[in-house]
Amino acid sequence: WVGVDFASAQTAPAPQRDVQKEALNPSASAPLASPESPKPDALFKQHCAACHGEQRLGAMGPALLPESLERLRRPEALKLIREGRPATQMPAFGGTLSEAEMQALAQLIYQPQTPAPQWATADILASRSFDAHSGDWPARPQWRADPMNLFVVVEGGDHHISLVDGDRFEVIHRFPSRYALHGGPKFSPDGRYVYFGSRDGWISKYDLWNLKMVAEVRAGLNMRNVAVSSDGRWVMAANYLPQNAVLFDAELNPVKTFDTRSPDGKQSSRVSAVYDAAPRRSFVLALKDLAELWEISYDPKAEPIHAGLVHDFRMGEAIATPGYLNPRRTPLDEPLDDFFFDDSYRHALGTARPRGKDEAGATLGQVVNLDARRKVASLPIAGMPHLGSGISFDWQGRRVMASPNLKDGLISVIDLKNWTLIKEIATPGPGFFMRSHAKSRYAWTDAMMGGPEARDTLSIIDKQSLEIVAQVKQPGKTLAHVEFTKDGRYVLASLWEMDGALIVYDATTFKEVKRLPMSKPVGKYNIWNKISREEGTSH
Ligand code: DHE
């Protein structure tokens, strides 16, 4: 690996972009361009660069790089250019540009930049903003509600966050977020601060007690997720572009980058996820393109990486290196796209992205023992889960894990002792999320990846019989992602539409209790469940 310590790096800051000034309405003064000869670069400069940045790295608008657009199909991109995006500053170019010009632009944004865009130490430092008074803000909530039963709701429709009182089910506060947040927000151990990660690489630290932004920084150009250490001191970002992981302190000062390279330095890898392994006092990273799992300890007393325990591949033999804030590699048979931990955090249960023969349905999962630092078993799961979607609970005296997957309408229930499949529970369709609570006998799952007849349904599974005992539906709509209240008595679900809602269900009778209008509420996160690592939710 190649590490860069920010303290010793060349840190001449790059000129800071003034995104406010750049945020001009690009169509306002745009003359009609000739339809005969669309020149994509010139068109982009004239119509798009003000919001999306000259280099397409994003400014006030999102980045327009192939890596950032993986989830947007080309015809949709063209439609977006033609019709604009409601509730954002993205205007409709249909009346301004010819069809050929719009097509030229739609093609351009999927072309890789040459040379590949860089996001170096100086860029990270220059992007950072920090409220210097934040240290003086009161250390108690400036609102009346149980701070432990607060829900942070990410509204993807118009890119806002709503804070919801989990006792009265009322919105306490609403504020704008960065574009396209992804993954669960992460919390400081006392639940005061929340850290959001955006697909465009922004990390935002927000003070929930004072309802104010503390700091923001752009960790990379295309980011997967962030993790916060259990002691609240560190924040780690997992990036696709550049291919690295970046460590920050709690005020989002960059501390160190980890270029995720193969032992011989020849191959580099995207980082597809990073998680905090609290009992191990470490971050564990999934590398998408390298058959290795990395663990980076934040325990100052971390054992040196002993010979025999882990190999330093640079030397072709095992050598000792300090363990603290340095990666230890676990060699694997094939790369893991993502994983979750068992209760002990001794094992990472992971999956590779389907490829080749796997697409026909072969077993995708691996169980990696993080102490022995090797794969110890295969995992009999039906398809790749949406990452971090599994839950664990007791079943007939055994500890089990259950997870949906993105391929089939099946929940796999796996024995966490011998890694065997106990049951596959058929659901209306493939799903993203599964949630429960230690105090509830039920687990709820969606079928969001299924057809219209499936994605409007949440299935409720009895954790003892492992049978679906009820379903709730919102006909014709998409219903997904639930989270329980702190006491497990209510379930909050997303009516996943632009004019959607947060629907509160009684967790025992499954009756609707209340509905709060929201703009495509993507995910919701209960502070207590998160910081106590409740067994029914993601950590
Ligand atoms: Fe997610 C969590 C990866 C597509 C909404 N998603 C995560 C996490 C990973 C991941 C690694 C865990 C991060 C964390 O919490 O720290 N997601 C992926 C993918 O690889 C995938 C399949 C494709 C991709 O291009 O990223 C993918 N995810 C989606 C979506 O399409 C969803 C439904 C809508 C969206 O906004 O992108 C989506 N992902 C979510 C949500 C979480 C999440 C809401 C947090 C769940 C939680 O309860 O913790």
pLDDT tens readout for residues 93-119: 998 899 999 998 989 999 998 888 999
449 lines ligand 1 (CB under 6 A): no
Among positive and negative, which fits the CA dihedral 221, 432, 297, 250?
positive
Strand order in the sheet with 374-379: 338-341, 347-351, 365-369, 374-379
Task: Decide if 427 contacts 470 (C-beta within 8 A).
Answer: no
521 lines ligand 1 (CB under 6 A): no
390 lines ligand 1 (CB under 6 A): no
Residues in a beta bridge with 490 = 506
Report pLDDT for 397.
Answer: 96
Q: Assign 22 a pLDDT band (cuts: 50, 70, 90).
A: very low
CA 432–ligand 1 middle distance (angstroms): 8
Q: Which has more pLDDT, 76 or 30? A: 76
481 lines ligand 1 (CB under 6 A): yes
Helix (H, G, I), strand (E, B) or coil at 210: coil
ipTM above 0.85, yes or no: yes
Rounded to the nearest 10 degrees, how much is the dihedral formed by the CA atoms of 140, 141, 143, 149? -130
- The closest of 149, 226, 190 to 525, measured between CA atoms, is 149
pLDDT tens readout for residues 202-235: 999 999 999 999 999 999 999 999 999 999 999 9
CA 457–ligand 1 middle distance (angstroms): 19
CA 67–ligand 1 middle distance (angstroms): 16
The atom number, within ligand 1, closest to the CA of 524 reads: 48
- The closest of 284, 349, 297 to 323, measured between CA atoms, is 297
273 lines ligand 1 (CB under 6 A): yes
Rounded-to-integer distance, Cα 45 and Cα 142, Å: 45
Q: What b-and-e string marks burial along 456-475, b requiring 16 or more CB atoms within 10 Å of the CB?
A: bbbbbbebeebebeebbebe
**pTM given for the model:** 0.89
pLDDT tens readout for residues 323-367: 788 898 999 988 988 888 998 999 999 887 665 444 444 557 899
530 lines ligand 1 (CB under 6 A): no
Report pLDDT for 305.
Answer: 59
Q: Tokens 């994509």 correspond to what residue? A: 40
Mean pLDDT of 386-397: 86
Q: Assign 387 a pLDDT band (cuts: 50, 70, 90).
A: low
Residues in a beta bridge with 494 = 480, 502
387 lines ligand 1 (CB under 6 A): yes
157 lines ligand 1 (CB under 6 A): no
Rounded-to-integer distance, Cα 78 and Cα 99, Å: 9
Instruction: Let me know if 312 is exposed, middle or buried by CB neighbors in 10 A (0-12, 13-18, 19+).
Output: middle
Structure tokens that stand for 96 in this block: 């301004």
Task: Decide if 517 contacts 197 (C-beta within 8 A).
Answer: no
Q: Assign 509 a pLDDT band (cuts: 50, 70, 90).
A: very high
